[in-house]
Structure 1
Amino acid sequence: MSLFSLLGAIEIGLIYALVALGVYISFRLLRFPDLTVDGSFPLGGAVCAVLIAGGTNPWLATLAATAAGAGAGLVTGWLNVRLKIMDLLASILMMIGLYSVNLRIMGGPNIPLINDPTLFTQLQPDGVPDYVMRPVIVLVFTIACTLALNWFFATERGLAIRATGSNARMCRAQGVNTGAMVLLGMAVSNALVGLAGALFVQTQGGSDISMGIGTIVIGLAAVIVGESILPSRRVVYATLAVVIGAIVYRFFIAAALNSDFIGLKAQDLNLVTAVLVTVALVIPQIKRKLKHKSLPDAPKSL
């Protein structure tokens, strides 16, 4: 694998680490199977691309994309909390609806950003290649978001969100508004996904309506791979594991697609993803079996 391919894999892996952090909040902390991600990722990209193409400052466009993602998460949570629609069905309805919303926002299937200014062109120092600087800039965003999440989930409100996912009935008995916590958690989750979509379109040079297909699978794969590498129940280590999982996942994808002797091509991406997720799910089971076999047998009673 060339240096260009390696840095490209790290760059995309760090962007999808933000998606994985959002998926971790919904799936692991809130126990909310959220498929909104497949719609909020291109939503963030569409909002960002439209604003930048219209002459808006890239920082404001990225902020607006993040807010749009948060709004999508709020609507999904509202469908579940207020209208009592099952969580999975609510997210599916939102994902389907966002496809048309994204088309409306972009006014077509894609928006190019070839010659428009982006965060990366504004922060690009002279003499440093863009393929080197882009991963560094995305890394700063990822670290900042990870630290902010670690701080937030150590606060009273963050702990209430975690408790809502663990035992909503007990939380209500303690006077916690679990519905509000679900709404807040879903907003934070999809805000991260919207931010990832905004960064993605700025690195790839444009927004496309199909860019969100399979995003939830990538996010779940990163979470599962990360938890297999660094299993921990503490949020600080769990968020770190998610980021590592996203990078490792993307690295293996790039390595598989760039290995000539394997013979894989770009159209095999979904197959490689399925195999990697399967392996990541099986590894913990193998570890448990090996650990069980290594334990000494209990002495038999006379």
Structure 2
Amino acid sequence: MLSALDLGLIYGLMALGVYITFRVLDFPDLTVDGSFTTGAAVTASAIIAGQSPWLATALGAVAGAAAGLVTGLLHTKGSINPLLAGILTQIALYSINLRIMGKANLPLLRTDTMLSGLRDAQLLATWTSAALFAAVAIAFMLALDWFLNTDLGLALQATGDNQRMIRAQGVSTDATKILGLALSNALVALAGGLIAQYQGFADIGMGIGLIVAGLASVIIGQALLPSRRFIFATLAVLIGSVVYRIVIQLALQAGFDPNDTKLISAVLVVAALLLPRLAVFRRLRARRREALLARAQTGEARA
């Protein structure tokens, strides 16, 4: 179970990237399946070539940002539909990733990685590794919260909310979209590089269907912790990622075939979408709104 916690926290970085495009930018980006593998491929290739694992991981994130940049340019400058732009980049990345790796699978078990110390000390899948990955995930979460509250971050939010309004304020929505897509895929690729080092290999198929896992993490998290404040929304995404991985792990332990993970993911997303619509949850939300309204009225009366 602790391995699922580790993976959930690392994949949480990927889920934060998906959150930027789907929730903040309102952009259905399917580049994720390719950019995740790109991050793993670049990181693994650079480590095998003798580069520092830290530099290799950074290069993987930069490669992911470049993939998001391409998708953004196809959409904004090429006037290509967002879904199609992401699909085109994703398809192209499959061949590019094969070129980067040279073969379908690159093993990292006999090389020094960022996690070699933990692996040698047999601390992976322990509370020590979970605490370390939690610290990293929370650091990126807080950095994202800070960024979204800057002028540039507010422009990014406004682009997702109302493009006409923000353009009237003199902001280039093309630039904010490109920035958002680059930032999103950089986080996704960073997660890919870390997962490659955690699992000890990079594989050409490791990103297939990952967009479903990212959406599941976002939707599950926001169903469990609904809030409009970014500090809670991004925290919900991390929680959703952990819950998603734990549910997958429990399903596999219950006897499901590993080939069923995509089906389980789809069922989880459907359940998370339908959960808030159940009558009991509607009543709870109504009571919460009434309580908040009563507090506001009490505060006004005291004033």
Task: Give the TM-score taking structure 2 as reference length.
Answer: 0.90
* Aligned residue among 274, 287, 303 for 1:282: 274
Q: In the alignment, residue 166 of structure 1 is paired with which amino acid?
A: D
Counterparts of 2:281 and 2:141, CA distance in 1: 33
Q: In the alignment, residue 249 of structure 1 is paired with which amino acid?
A: Y
After TM superposition, the structure 1 = structure 2 runs for residues 2-151 of structure 1, keeping only pairs within 5 Å, are 6-122=1-117, 124=118, 129-132=123-126, 133-151=128-146
What is the CA-CA distance between 1:136 and the residue it aligns to?
A: 3.2
Counterpart residue number, 1:291 = 283
Shift of the 44–279 alpha-carbon distance from structure 1 to 2, 3 Å rule, reads: same
Shift of the 127–121 alpha-carbon distance from structure 1 to 2, 3 Å rule, reads: closer
* Aligned residue among 225, 231, 235 for 1:230: 225
Counterparts of 1:219 and 1:106, CA distance in 2: 25
Shift of the 128–282 alpha-carbon distance from structure 1 to 2, 3 Å rule, reads: same
Which piece of structure 1 moves more, 278-287 or 65-74?
278-287
Counterparts of 1:284 and 1:125, CA distance in 2: 41
Q: Which runs of 4+ in 1 moved over 6 A?
A: 292-295
Number of residues paired by the alignment? 286
Counterparts of 2:111 and 2:284, CA distance in 1: 58
Shift of the 14–78 alpha-carbon distance from structure 1 to 2, 3 Å rule, reads: same
Counterparts of 2:83 and 2:119, CA distance in 1: 45
Task: Give the TM-score taking structure 1 as reference length.
Answer: 0.91
Query: What per-residue deviation string (whole Å, max 9, x for no partner) do you get for residues 107-150 of structure 1?
Result: 1101000110111114x398563332433332222111101101
* Aligned residue among 150, 158, 166 for 1:155: 150
- Contact 1:120–1:137 (CA under 8 A) maintained in structure 2: no
Shift of the 293–128 alpha-carbon distance from structure 1 to 2, 3 Å rule, reads: closer
Would you say 1:266 and 2:258 are equivalent positions? Answer: yes
Counterparts of 1:294 and 1:250, CA distance in 2: 31
What is the CA-CA distance between 1:276 and the residue it aligns to?
A: 1.2
Counterparts of 2:113 and 2:68, CA distance in 1: 26
Would you say 1:241 and 2:247 are equivalent positions? Answer: no
- Contact 2:276–2:282 (CA under 8 A) maintained in structure 1: no
Structure 2, unmatched stretches of 5+, are 288-303
Q: SS of 1:170's equivalent?
A: helix
- Contact 2:3–2:124 (CA under 8 A) maintained in structure 1: no
- Contact 1:76–1:90 (CA under 8 A) maintained in structure 2: yes
Counterparts of 1:42 and 1:293, CA distance in 2: 40
Query: What per-residue deviation string (whole Å, max 9, x for no partner) do you get for residues 10-31 of structure 1?
Result: 0111111111100010011111
- Contact 2:275–2:281 (CA under 8 A) maintained in structure 1: no
Would you say 1:185 and 2:180 are equivalent positions? Answer: yes
Which piece of structure 1 moves more, 201-210 or 277-286?
277-286
Percent of counterpart pairs with the same letter? Answer: 52
What is the CA-CA distance between 1:273 and the residue it aligns to?
A: 1.2
Q: SS of 1:163's equivalent?
A: helix
- Contact 1:120–1:134 (CA under 8 A) maintained in structure 2: no
Shift of the 290–159 alpha-carbon distance from structure 1 to 2, 3 Å rule, reads: closer
What is the CA-CA distance between 1:289 and the residue it aligns to?
A: 7.2
Q: In the alignment, residue 233 of structure 1 is paired with which amino acid?
A: R
* Aligned residue among 192, 196, 209 for 2:191: 196
Counterparts of 1:200 and 1:289, CA distance in 2: 36
What is the CA-CA distance between 1:251 and the residue it aligns to?
A: 0.6
